[in-house]
Structure formats: C-alpha cells, structure tokens
C-alpha cells in the first residue's frame, strides 16, 4: 500500500493577495497595538536590569583595568594588585549574569513573545503575518542584533531605532525598525486579546471565519427549493459544527427548512425536510354540487352576483328534493371568551413618519448618527448588501465583541423608517413603551420616535422630527 502525504502549504488567515498582513483582520480578532508609553517603559526596565547586573564590572573591574593600562607595565601593575582575585570574581560574575539574562530574554521572546519588561507592562510580541510566536532566530535574535547595532552610535542610535522609529510606521501599527527587520508586532495583552491565550484566540478566529455576513457578493442558496423553477432567497437561521440551518423562500406559500451541506444542494441525510404552509394561505373550499332539477322545470337564468330577483307570476316555488334525515346535532356549547393576554409585540404606532422627517440615532455612548439617504447599517465592520441603495455603513466600537460585523440597519423604505435585522449572532430587539419585540432576520419593522433598538451589549434611541 502506498501512503500519500499531503504536502499542501498551510493557509495563513488575514493576508491580502500579495501576502501582506491585513491590519483590519488583527483588529477584528481583538488585538490592539502596544501603546507607545508602555513600549518605552518596557525597554527602560530591561536596560536598567542589565545595567544593574553590569554594576560590579563598571564600578570595580573597569576602573582597575583602566588604571593598570595606563602604567608602563600593565600586566605587572595588574598582577601586583592585592584585590586581583576579587576583580576576577566580580568580572566573571557580571559576564555570566549578563549572558544568562540576555539568553533568557531571547528564549522567552522567541517561544512566548514576552520578556521581563513586556511581562511587567502587559505587552506581547507576535509574528506580524501569523499572529503567533515570533520564532527564536528571526523574531528574537535578529531583533536584538538590530537593537545592539544601534548602540554603535551612542545615544543617537538607540534614540532613533528604539524610541522614535515606531512613530514613523507607515501602517500606523507602532512597529519599530527592529520589528520590521524581525517581522514582529508588539500588542497590548491588557486591553485587548492576549494572542497566547490559545482558547480565546481559537474562538476569535472561528468567529471571524464563520461570520455569516462576511460576504461582499450575493451567494447562491444552499437549501433545496420547493419548486424547480427558482432557487429563491437563502435566509440563514442558525449555525453549528455540522453546517448552516437555513430557509429558502421559493414560493409565496411554502418555506423549506432543513440543514444543508456545502458539498451538494441536497438536505443533509438524517435531518428531515419540512414544508410549512404560509400562515395566511387558506385554500378556498370546493363548491358543493347542486341537486339536479326535476323534469319540466326550466333552468334558471344567469343572475349577476348580489342581484335580487323576484319570482315570476304564477310560478310555484321549487325546492330541492328532501335528503335523508340525520339526527340533529347538539348545539355547540357556549365558549367563554378567553382572558385577554399581554401583547407579545410592541404597541402599534400612533402616527407613522413621513419621508421628509429628519431621522437620527443616539447611541448609549452619547454619539449621534444622522440617518440620511437610504439609511445606515451598523456593526463592528458593517458592509452593505446588494439591495442597499444610498445606505451608509457606520462602524460601532464594541470591546465585548457582542455585536456582529454587520448587525442591523435603519432604513427608509416607501416613506417609512424601518429597522432591519441582518442575521447577527446575538440578534436585535425593538423596545417601545416597556414592551420588547425581537427583530426577525430579513423582516423590516417600522419604528417611531422614541423607540430603542438593543443590539448586543449596545443600544440606540431613534429620534424622528
């Protein structure tokens, strides 16, 4: 038996067509660039620790060696010192401790993206392309070589390479020249996602990769249509590890619901397909057959519906032949009226808005969004759909990531102002007068002045003037 080994290259997420990292992908995962102040503080801490380790060498050994070098016979002058053994011990200790400190820094940086200064300031270093550990040779050794080379020009070199170069990053990600050479990126693990928290990082990647609305073009339906004439519109309802639970509206009277497979267009085996009739599609009852007329009785003339016709003079009233008598059914028992229940939806509008009214949204943060043109669509990174005309995407900051990339929209349709849920993960709720109504994906709901739309952990108040 011949075993074939899959040698396909690993697919790296978050790269553009040229293989360059996309900053918006890292931002969608929750990664935040390291603030400039803490970057400098981390470098200063590491430099102070290294200086502390080097103090015996700088304060004791170096002055003694310098004084002996100025003597006519440096070797004899150094060998004749009474503290020669102490100088050797202090010099060896400083060298060993400095080497150990730098080596530990390199290993921690290459394996875990952290050093002593970064651990104290809550920063982490990742590979800028893979957003994983930077690696020992390029991510750690090359970085420290560039930083060490900057020391060849005292004061100016470290100031330019370490302190000032992050301010001139063309991608505005705060990467220094050492980061550019090592292909690394410094992120804030306190305010943002820790890239070395494997569980949270895996969930963030799956959330971004499986976002149902992260598409730019209209995709074909994955469900089997009822009628062979058309595929209809695909409406995502839920998702799980096996696929997408969706509905296809192919005819006005039927909806096909079933779990679909991305390989073929048939419903997944083991999951039945249900055909549900439309809620208001009631077939007309078939007309009952009329009894035949007796011999000699002329057929009645055609009469327009609703017309009143008087019987002809001298004509006897004709009645159909008697049917077999059946026992009279008992009169139905009176049914007590049901107790009134609380309304499941919000109360109706008093006065609908007009197309000339000014519409605005006030977020819980206090920001006001003017709704002009065809409307606005909100989310972490919203995208307009194929049917959106003159609709403006408005991104909403959400540190808890409770909002989908494209969550909901406030649109003007046929002189109305409607809220439209775009199939988000956590859904949207319309709040009016203390009553709440969950918005169904793809179904517009008319709103009025003072209504509140709750989406994720955020909410917005509609103002119509």
List phi, psi (to 5°) of 312: -70, 155
Q: How far apart are CA 442 and CA 426, in angstroms?
A: 15
- pLDDT, mean of residues 306-319: 47
Side-chain-side CA neighbours of 327 within 13 Å: the count stands at 2
Could you report the per-residue pLDDT of 30-75, keeping only the tens digit for each? 999 999 999 999 999 999 999 999 999 999 999 999 988 888 888 8
Model confidence at 134: pLDDT above 50: yes
Q: How far apart are CA 229 and CA 376, in angstroms?
A: 34
- pLDDT, mean of residues 363-374: 90
Q: Can you list the domains of the chain with their CATH numbers? A: 23-204 (no CATH), 233-277 (no CATH), 359-464 (2.60.200.20)
Model confidence at 438: pLDDT above 70: yes
- pLDDT, mean of residues 354-376: 85
Rg (C-alpha) for the chain, rounded Å, is: 39
Could you report the per-residue pLDDT of 222-252, keeping only the tens digit for each? 655 554 444 444 444 444 444 444 444 444 4
CA geometry: angle 239, 400, 247, nearest 5 deg: 20
Residue 26: strand, helix, or coil: helix
Nearest to 178 by CA among 191, 192, 164, 196: 164
The pair of structure tokens assigned to 108 is 């921690």
Could you report the per-residue pLDDT of 179-225, keeping only the tens digit for each? 999 999 999 999 999 999 999 999 888 888 765 444 444 555 565 55
Model confidence at 341: pLDDT above 60: no
Model confidence at 6: pLDDT above 90: no
What pLDDT shows up at residue 31? Answer: 94
**Residue 136 confidence class, pLDDT cut points 50, 70, 90:** very high
Q: How far apart are CA 207 and CA 219, in angstroms?
A: 20
What pLDDT shows up at residue 300? Answer: 53
List phi, psi (to 5°) of 120: -75, -25
Helix (H) or strand (E) holding 429: strand 428-432
Could you report the per-residue pLDDT of 147-185, keeping only the tens digit for each? 989 988 988 998 898 889 999 888 888 999 999 999 999
What pLDDT shows up at residue 17? Answer: 84
What pLDDT shows up at residue 72? Answer: 85
Q: pTM to 2 decimals?
A: 0.47
What pLDDT shows up at residue 126? Answer: 96
- pLDDT, mean of residues 270-296: 48
Nearest to 315 by CA among 300, 303, 330, 325: 300
Q: What angle in degrees, to the nearest 10, is found between the helix axes of 84-112 and 36-56? A: 150
Mean pLDDT, the chain, integer: 77
What pLDDT shows up at residue 98? Answer: 95
**For residues 124 and 194, is the Cβ–Cβ distance under 8 A?**
yes
Among left, alpha and beta (phi > 0; psi -120 to 50; other), residue 450 is left
What pLDDT shows up at residue 415? Answer: 84
Residue 70: strand, helix, or coil: coil
**For residues 461 and 361, is the Cβ–Cβ distance under 8 A?**
yes
Could you report the per-residue pLDDT of 419-433, keeping only the tens digit for each? 999 989 899 999 998
Among left, alpha and beta (phi > 0; psi -120 to 50; other), residue 266 is beta
Model confidence at 319: pLDDT above 80: no
Model confidence at 365: pLDDT above 50: yes
């Amino acid at each position: 038996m011949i075993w074939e080994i899959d040698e396909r290259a690993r697919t790296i997420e978050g790269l553009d067509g040229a293989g360059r990292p996309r900053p918006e992908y890292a931002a969608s995962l929750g990664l935040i660039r390291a603030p400039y102040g803490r970057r400098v503080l981390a470098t200063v801490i590491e430099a102070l620790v290294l200086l502390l380790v080097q103090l015996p060498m700088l304060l004791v050994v170096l002055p003694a060696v310098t004084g002996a070098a100025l003597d006519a016979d440096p070797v004899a002058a150094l060998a004749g010192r009474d503290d020669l053994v102490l100088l050797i011990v202090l010099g060896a200790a400083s060298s060993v401790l400095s080497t150990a400190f730098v080596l530990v820094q390199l290993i921690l940086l290459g394996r875990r993206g952290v050093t002593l200064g970064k651990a104290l300031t809550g920063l982490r270093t990742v590979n800028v392309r893979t957003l994983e550990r930077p690696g020992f040779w390029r991510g750690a050794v090359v970085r420290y070589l560039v930083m060490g080379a900057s020391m060849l020009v005292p004061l100016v070199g470290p100031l330019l390479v370490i302190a000032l170069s992050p301010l001139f990053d063309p991608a505005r990600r705060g990467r220094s020249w050492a980061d550019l050479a090592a292909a690394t990126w410094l992120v804030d693990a306190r305010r943002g996602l820790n890239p070395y928290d494997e569980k949270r990082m895996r969930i963030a990647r799956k959330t971004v990769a499986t976002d149902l609305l992260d598409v730019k073009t209209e995709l074909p339906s994955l469900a089997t249509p009822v009628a062979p004439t058309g595929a209809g519109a695909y409406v995502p309802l839920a998702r799980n590890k096996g696929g997408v639970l969706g509905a296809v509206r192919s005819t006005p009277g039927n909806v096909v619901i079933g779990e679909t497979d991305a390989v073929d267009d048939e419903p997944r085996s083991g999951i039945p397909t249900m055909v549900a009739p439309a809620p208001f599609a009631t077939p007309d009852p078939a007309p009952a057959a009329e009894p035949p007329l007796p011999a000699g009785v002329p057929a009645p003339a055609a009469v327009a519906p609703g017309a009143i016709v008087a019987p002809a003079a001298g004509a006897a009233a004709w009645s159909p032949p008697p049917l077999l008598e059946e026992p009279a059914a008992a009169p139905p028992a009176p049914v007590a009226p049901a107790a009134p229940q609380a309304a499941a939806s919000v109360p109706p509008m008093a006065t609908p808005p007009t197309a000339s009214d000014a519409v605005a949204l006030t977020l819980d943060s206090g920001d006001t969004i003017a709704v002009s043109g065809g409307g606005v669509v909100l989310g972490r990174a919203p995208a307009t759909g194929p049917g959106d005309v003159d609709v403006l995407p408005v991104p909403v900051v959400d540190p808890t990531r409770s909002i989908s990339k494209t969550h909901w929209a406030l649109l003007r349709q046929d002189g109305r102002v409607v809220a439209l849920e775009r199939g988000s993960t956590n859904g949207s709720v319309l709040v009016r007068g203390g009553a709440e109504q969950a918005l169904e994906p793809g179904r517009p709901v008319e709103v009025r002045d003072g209504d509140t739309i709750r989406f994720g952990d955020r909410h917005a108040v509609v103002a119509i003037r």
